[in-house]
Amino acid sequence: MTKVMILGLDCAEPSLVLERWRHELPVLSGLMDKGAHGRLTSVIPPITVPAWSCMMSSRTPGDLGVYGFRNRSDHSYDGLFIANSTAIREPRLWDLATRAGKPSIVLGVPGTYPPRPLNGVMVSCFLTPSTESQFTFPPILKREVEEVVGEYLFDVRDFRTDDKDYLLRQVYEMTDRRFRLAEHLLETKPWELFAMVEMGPDRMYHGFWKLMDPEHRKHEPDNPFQSAILDYHKHLDRLMGRLLAHADEKTAVLVVSDHGGKRMDGGIRVNEWLRREGLLATLRDPEEAVPLREAGIDWSRTVAWGEGGYYSRIFLNVAGREPEGIVSPEDYERVRGGLAERLAAIPDENGDPLDTRVYLPEQVYEQANGVPPDLIVHFGDLYWRSVGTVGGREGVHTFENDTGPDDANHAQEGLFVLVAPGVHPGPREGARLLDVAPTVLELMGLDVPASMRGTSLLSAGVA
Amino acid sequence: MARRRAERIDDVTLKIPRPLYERLRQVIEGTGFHSVTEFCVYVLRDLAASQTPTPDHDRLTTEEVAAIRGRLRALGYLED
């Protein structure tokens, strides 16, 4: 029966944090000296939503029926929903702690807006619309949050800015306020489970990676931000050290990330590629690149379309399933298999192979609830993103991205460091994001539901 | 009919409208609370301490959805 403190660092990359910078991060390094640590294989896709909810429930995106931030609600062409806490139907760690009468503090864990009742306190995540929203449970906690930190910052206010100094100030301010609130909650609320997620590392990687990494296509030598990501991690390390003052020797400490980060080499314009392959027909041929829907889709001549983002989801236009589907159900597997092969074969801009991974949902999920994509594509092993626009002068490859920052993408492996009574220190292999919840439950002396997909790292002998 | 478990002497019965009861039952669905009674005791204790009514927020307004979409666009997760 152990208290558990989970310190979640969105996107924290193991090759940087656990390896290259280990000795510049004394707090984390101290935890590594005392605990088990290593890479933590994320889910497919390795994206904040649904990954944190998968971690906290030990259920796959297929189980949750949540395949990304935005999901199809049915097989219509425009039935889409943005996944929030109400979409997560499986119990997460604090729900299970509540059932056992154990109090939790939950702070900023993605997938928690709107906040749901629990035994304990909750401050919702970065997808909270604003501080005008009811972002705490119990509701009265909101006033206390404002008394402690003033305006609480769910995320950076203006991520698209080219003013890197301004972006940096925003990230630090967000992180400082969250940690100040975390300290306050640890000091004033009872807890046996503390779960907190800091979004800062993700925002730093997406905004500053090219300035750090000489291998990045857009690296600028001698820029003033070369050490910005490392400096931020050092700052985070100091803040984590203050929280650890609230963890006694009997408290288990688990530092985790939902996925890693890596440089981004470019974007594959997946819908433009489908158009050029004759698999997607638009009503207009725009002179400038525009989102697919703006160009209009001629569904009667469209076999498939895709979603842009850090990875791609491909949907087939199936007769009897989609309103104007043209792929016959008998042809579905043949068409999908052929498309998967062709997507995997898209080369880079020089004609060299990209290490693209194409996944079939039924191969990566034991069950696929809701409306899963027909194909999930990680272009160039996630060194490339997916871009959904069509038209314009650019071809299939793009190196300009006016829809968002393009410095970094997500990597399949995040990290974990686990310090707990009975856990021997040292590096470990084979840990999965889905193993986190069963591990925490075992540490807390709670039963692990049979429906959980992962295995406790303690029972499995990994930790 | 089996006799119900005797209530503790310090407990009293509160009556609430059935629609509210049904609403609360939905609110705790999937959470760790075993019953509406257990949830009510928890919430009421908290409210009594703070003397502040609990606003009812469960659905997202159009403006809230627009704010979230805008943020996801800025972060590069959505393109339209």
Instruction: List Cα–Cα distances, A210 to A13, A214, A220, A290, in angstroms.
Output: 15, 7, 7, 26
For residue A40 the two structure tokens come to 């933590």
Cα dihedral A155, A157, A162, A166 in deg (nearest 10): -90
- pLDDT class of B52 with cuts at 50, 70, 90: very low
For residue A398 the two structure tokens come to 């793009």
Residue B64 has pLDDT above 70, yes or no: yes
The answer to whether A384 contacts chain B (CB < 8 Å) is: no
The answer to whether B44 contacts chain A (CB < 8 Å) is: no
Residues A212, A79 share a domain: yes
- β-strand pairing of A408-411 with A104-107: unpaired
Q: Is residue A144 part of a domain?
A: yes
Tell me how far apart the alpha carbons of residues A60 and A58 are, in angstroms, rounded to a whole number.
Answer: 7
Contact A204, A212 (CB under 8 A): no
Percent of chain A with pLDDT over 70: 99
pLDDT tens-digit profile of A87-110? 999 999 999 999 999 999 999 999
Residue B72 has pLDDT above 50, yes or no: yes
Q: Is residue A459 part of a domain?
A: no
Residues A169, A305 share a domain: no
Residue B3 has pLDDT above 60, yes or no: no
Residues A418, A396 share a domain: no
B-facing residues of A in 341-360 (CB < 8 A) are none
User: 3-state class of A335 per DSSP?
Assistant: helix
B26 φ, ψ to 5°?
A: -70, -40
pLDDT of residue B48: 67
A253 φ, ψ to 5°?
A: -120, 130
Closest A-chain CA to B49: A140
Q: Which among B55, B69, B75 is the nearest to A134, CB-wise?
A: B55
The answer to whether A68 contacts chain B (CB < 8 Å) is: yes
Residues A131, A241 share a domain: yes
- pLDDT class of A405 with cuts at 50, 70, 90: low
Residue A404 has pLDDT above 90, yes or no: no
Residues A187, A51 share a domain: yes
Residues A229, A271 share a domain: no
Tell me how far apart the alpha carbons of residues A364 and A352 are, in angstroms, rounded to a whole number.
Answer: 27
Provide, as residue numbers in chain B, all residues whose Cβ is less than 8 Å from the Cβ of A97.
32
Residue B53 has pLDDT above 50, yes or no: no
pLDDT of residue A139: 87
Residue B2 has pLDDT above 50, yes or no: no
The residue type of A232 is Y
Strand ranges (E), chain B: none
Give which of A123, A208, A216 is closest to A159, Cα–Cα: A208
pTM for the model = 0.91
Residues A322, A239 share a domain: no
CA-based diameter of chain B, in Å?
62
Q: Is residue A172 part of a domain?
A: yes
Please judge whether A91 and B30 are an interchain contact, meaning their C-beta atoms are less than 8 angstroms apart: yes
pLDDT average, residue stretch A418-445: 96
Q: How many domains does chain A have?
A: 2
Provide, as residue numbers in chain B, all residues whose Cβ is less than 8 Å from the Cβ of A95.
30-32
Q: Is residue A389 part of a domain?
A: yes
Q: Is residue A463 part of a domain?
A: no
Q: Is residue A460 part of a domain?
A: no
The answer to whether A69 contacts chain B (CB < 8 Å) is: yes
For residue A425, whether the previous peptide bond is cis, meaning omega lies within 30 degrees of 0, is: no
Residue A145 has pLDDT above 60, yes or no: yes
pLDDT of residue B6: 54
pLDDT average, residue stretch A359-374: 97
Residues A46, A8 share a domain: yes
Residue A320 has pLDDT above 60, yes or no: yes
Rg over alpha carbons for chain B, rounded to the nearest Å, is 20
Contact A385, A52 (CB under 8 A): no
Residues A231, A119 share a domain: yes
Query: In whole angstroms, what separates CA A276 from the centre of its chain?
Result: 31
Residues A62, A173 share a domain: yes
Q: Is residue A259 part of a domain?
A: yes
Contact A2, A102 (CB under 8 A): no
Residues A40, A179 share a domain: yes
A40 membership: H or E segment, kind and range: strand A36-41
pLDDT of residue A459: 84
End-to-end Cα, chain A, rounded Å: 17
Residues A278, A206 share a domain: no
Least confident of A50-59, A345-354, A393-402, A440-449: A393-402
Closest A-chain CA to B80: A291
Residue B1 has pLDDT above 90, yes or no: no
Give which of A379, A376, A377, A378 is closest to A398, Cα–Cα: A379
User: 3-state class of A313 per DSSP?
Assistant: strand
Q: What is the ipTM of this complex?
A: 0.76
Rg over alpha carbons for chain A, rounded to the nearest Å, is 22
Q: Which among A70, A117, A160 is the nearest to B39, CB-wise?
A: A117
- β-strand pairing of A312-316 with A375-378: antiparallel
**What are the residue ranges spanned by the domains of chain B?**
13-54
pLDDT tens-digit profile of A17-27? 999 999 999 99
Tell me how far apart the alpha carbons of residues A330 and A318 are, in angstroms, rounded to a whole number.
Answer: 10
pLDDT of residue B59: 62
Tell me how far apart the alpha carbons of residues A136 and A115 are, in angstroms, rounded to a whole number.
Answer: 6
Domain that holds residue A89: 4-264+410-444
The residue type of B68 is I
Closest B-chain CA to A292: B80
What is the phi-psi region of residue A194: left when phi exceeds 0, alpha when psi lies from -120 to 50, beta otherwise? beta
User: Bigger pLDDT: B19 or B58?
Assistant: B19
Contact A240, A417 (CB under 8 A): no
